[in-house]
Structure 1
């Protein structure tokens, strides 16, 4: 404990009253019909920071009806791409003007550092600007070689009403990977944020109204997966559901949606490896490994939670990672110097620790951390930076998504062995390779079963570059042009030019 970097409470002033979050349905802000509410206690500061309306089937069905009516009358889908883009650009400007207000609530609800919340909110504005450009470029294709009397074109049309269900770990960023792309396509939406982090989604609803979004185009229902999420997935008036979260919940959503055969897009878990070869820039690799596993307290689908290190350098490289880990600042999320904040809940902290203790019992060695971290003035809802060696591929800690600041270390001797370890997993979200040999990097990139492969970097992302996983890491893609295509249907239009078709029925 004493050789780790811990930032105690800075005693920052907290909001005098909890944020009041309500549903947005058909352009009207409202509480739940039965008056139910849920409270969010800050995982870092232990006080109630938001009080949200707790929706049920009534609110979910009303929101779906509002979105359905808005889509069917064309108040949004019937606008030009230029008109939709103008609204999206205004939203981006409003997001940037409200970064501090939104970042504070996100930090208090999630436990992440304030600097990260600021980056998440301000960075999301760029996603909205990018989708504004996409809105003006929705296009199909033409087929002009079908003969002199035939012409065919494909049209790209909005899929319709979309249910958007978002998680607690990146509540504003992940919403912005989905909602503006759906809106750019011309869809109408019902959004359900996590009950743990509802506030920034509600704040966005306020900004949408200020930006001139027509009533009913974006609806927000607060509450739990049951019943709200279940209704949003199963209702026949919904044409598509997009979800980010755990693989288990993703399976349940796909099952609920199967009754109406609606489209499903899922961005799920990962057990993401970084493979380090002896010829890599080991200082850069170690820094990226530390960033990859502790960013957002490891509560990240892209967390680099396992490293696969060449046996010749494994001991020295692990020592370098452990040394850097001790320098990472864990503590009060409201201190700008903090790099790692609180675990989202005590229950999740216990789950993380369960994986570590199980690995120890199975023969692994915890060379750093391995338990709760007490931050002076804030309590114990934090977890120590943890590095586990002596891990075998069959251990749960090496295969399951721990979703915490826990790094496992495995070793390899050949490229083929490394790829086997990478691909011997249920997940396939992302992977990384560190080597100065371009042939090694390209061979690895082509052989790794992952939606994203980083070479000599980790977790760099851009609005232009699509994101998503293979295997049990999900279905579909987000951001980039493919992120727009997810919300579009293709219609083929076949036209005969002139009266050139011979009659099928013989009349003589």
Structure 2
């Protein structure tokens, strides 16, 4: 049933951009290959019912091991870790340009597989290219340390070296963007990688690796395996030939893969769930704040770990803020993601749509007030209306759990201390936002909020120069900026005696 309040554009299947199913191969040791067992996984677009848009190999444990060993050989004996930073930088820059040149192709792939709008996908492809350009520019200038104050007879060095073979497991919501937050930094540090994208959205990652190969990246440096977490992703965590595991996904799966990696004393980087607070003080620019809040939670259907899913608003501004948000929700156009006028596409698949519905029903049953939304929008695809709850208690599931859907829970506060307490009342600490015209108050507040990626008078902004990562159960490690190169580096202590003393230890 279509909402009377939300504009909906029925998905159309006649678009020439998806008349042909895309058939992909994995990339192992520089070669495009099928799974050794010959099995495949088909992907139906979440936006267009029963329309198969891609087919990928269903990798076996043997396929995953071949990719890992190819990356191991490329690291141990290949040219990539031994190249100068200048040489690596030039290749990474070419890859960034190739991604930008193919941004429309890559955007269409993600539009069809993920269900996000073509406009959203285009923006992500441009940002991904910029990430590669940044990493390329800084790969040439990576440094260690010297210690020249150890006396006349000694000098100390801290040598930066690549950590080795990196396994990277990416989620279904931003496959190329999240891959581009990690892969160029790992490659720039001199590592080799094996990437395992989600089985739902593998196409853009495969194309990215193919473009990298075409740009001159040596064989075995960038491998992509496709299939299910068990056995493929699991082996990346368990295999003794991988030195580092980067995982982006749910807290539950992060616990599992982190435990598997720990059994081999393997370093891990984890970006897990979020339940982002957005604190709105009454002195804020409420027009700008409401637009940013709506974009954060309703854009891509709320399927972002940094989505601002908790609205914590100062009591005098509560009614006006809700009124503004409802008006925006009424104007949001949902539906066919290939339509240039659509703001929000489809949720990822039917089980996830049902999960979002179950949380909304639980919120109603618990006594929260449904302000707007709370319904499916079509029997075709997996579309859900922007949904806002008020009168939410902190012990409700809609207040505590990461729903990963377009569902906003609203709370009121009287003092800055109450706002901070509400913001920190979660197991997560991935993102947070503060809105106020009083920059002193905003800075004092943001310093008390336990989250790794935060904004003042903004929502979702960032730059490749700035590191990202989580606090608490939102994960460990940092990506991007110079922190990203540190993540994929290890440091060797070299103490040099300049004038060895010939006095024997034992006479």
Q: Settle same-fold status: TM greater than 0.5.
A: yes
CA RMSD of aligned residues (A): 1.1
Alignment match, 1:434: 435
Once residues 42 and 502 of structure 2 are traced to their aligned partners in structure 1, the CA distance between those partners, rounded to angstroms, is 68
**Equivalences for residues 11-22 of structure 1 within 5 A:** 11-22=14-25
**Equivalences for residues 265-414 of structure 1 within 5 A:** 265-374=269-378, 379-414=380-415
Once residues 29 and 153 of structure 1 are traced to their aligned partners in structure 2, the CA distance between those partners, rounded to angstroms, is 42
Once residues 334 and 121 of structure 1 are traced to their aligned partners in structure 2, the CA distance between those partners, rounded to angstroms, is 16
Once residues 363 and 77 of structure 2 are traced to their aligned partners in structure 1, the CA distance between those partners, rounded to angstroms, is 57
SS in 2 for 1:322: helix
Query: Which of these residues, 165, 171, 176, is aligned with residue 172 of structure 1?
Result: 176
Q: 5+ unaligned residues in a row in structure 2: which ranges?
A: none
Alignment match, 1:420: 421
SS in 1 for 2:43: strand
Question: Does the aligned pair in 2 maintain the 1:149–1:500 contact within 8 Å?
Answer: no
Once residues 502 and 288 of structure 2 are traced to their aligned partners in structure 1, the CA distance between those partners, rounded to angstroms, is 68
Once residues 502 and 280 of structure 1 are traced to their aligned partners in structure 2, the CA distance between those partners, rounded to angstroms, is 73
Once residues 501 and 307 of structure 1 are traced to their aligned partners in structure 2, the CA distance between those partners, rounded to angstroms, is 71
Question: Does the aligned pair in 2 maintain the 1:372–1:380 contact within 8 Å?
Answer: no
Question: Does the aligned pair in 1 maintain the 2:17–2:108 contact within 8 Å?
Answer: no
Once residues 223 and 442 of structure 1 are traced to their aligned partners in structure 2, the CA distance between those partners, rounded to angstroms, is 45
Once residues 151 and 197 of structure 1 are traced to their aligned partners in structure 2, the CA distance between those partners, rounded to angstroms, is 51
- 2:258 matched to 1:257? no
Q: Deviations over 1:272-295 (max 9, x none)?
A: 000111111111111111111012
Once residues 211 and 349 of structure 1 are traced to their aligned partners in structure 2, the CA distance between those partners, rounded to angstroms, is 40
SS in 2 for 1:320: helix
Q: What is the TM-score of this pair, normalised by structure 1?
A: 0.97
Q: Deviations over 1:10-67 (max 9, x none)?
A: 5422433211111111112111111110000001112100010000101001111100
C-alpha displacement of 1:259: 1.4
C-alpha displacement of 1:380: 4.5
SS in 2 for 1:312: helix
**Equivalences for residues 178-197 of structure 1 within 5 A:** 178-197=182-201
- 2:436 matched to 1:448? no
Once residues 494 and 4 of structure 1 are traced to their aligned partners in structure 2, the CA distance between those partners, rounded to angstroms, is 67
C-alpha displacement of 1:501: 6.3
SS in 1 for 2:16: coil
Once residues 505 and 445 of structure 2 are traced to their aligned partners in structure 1, the CA distance between those partners, rounded to angstroms, is 57
Once residues 400 and 348 of structure 2 are traced to their aligned partners in structure 1, the CA distance between those partners, rounded to angstroms, is 22
**Matched residue count:** 503
SS in 2 for 1:248: helix
Which stretch shows the higher mean deviation, 178-187 or 201-210?
A: 201-210
C-alpha displacement of 1:73: 0.5
SS in 2 for 1:373: coil
Which stretch shows the higher mean deviation, 131-140 or 340-349?
A: 131-140
Once residues 328 and 427 of structure 2 are traced to their aligned partners in structure 1, the CA distance between those partners, rounded to angstroms, is 30
Once residues 208 and 145 of structure 1 are traced to their aligned partners in structure 2, the CA distance between those partners, rounded to angstroms, is 44
Query: Which of these residues, 229, 232, 237, is aligned with residue 228 of structure 1?
Result: 232
Alignment match, 1:482: 483
Q: Deviations over 1:234-288 (max 9, x none)?
A: 0011000001111111101001111111000001110000011111111111111
SS in 1 for 2:382: strand
SS in 1 for 2:461: coil
Once residues 313 and 501 of structure 1 are traced to their aligned partners in structure 2, the CA distance between those partners, rounded to angstroms, is 78
Q: What is the TM-score of this pair, normalised by structure 2?
A: 0.98
Once residues 474 and 261 of structure 2 are traced to their aligned partners in structure 1, the CA distance between those partners, rounded to angstroms, is 18
SS in 1 for 2:91: helix
Once residues 486 and 222 of structure 1 are traced to their aligned partners in structure 2, the CA distance between those partners, rounded to angstroms, is 25
Question: Does the aligned pair in 2 maintain the 1:428–1:473 contact within 8 Å?
Answer: yes
Once residues 252 and 277 of structure 2 are traced to their aligned partners in structure 1, the CA distance between those partners, rounded to angstroms, is 21
Question: Does the aligned pair in 1 maintain the 2:27–2:210 contact within 8 Å?
Answer: no
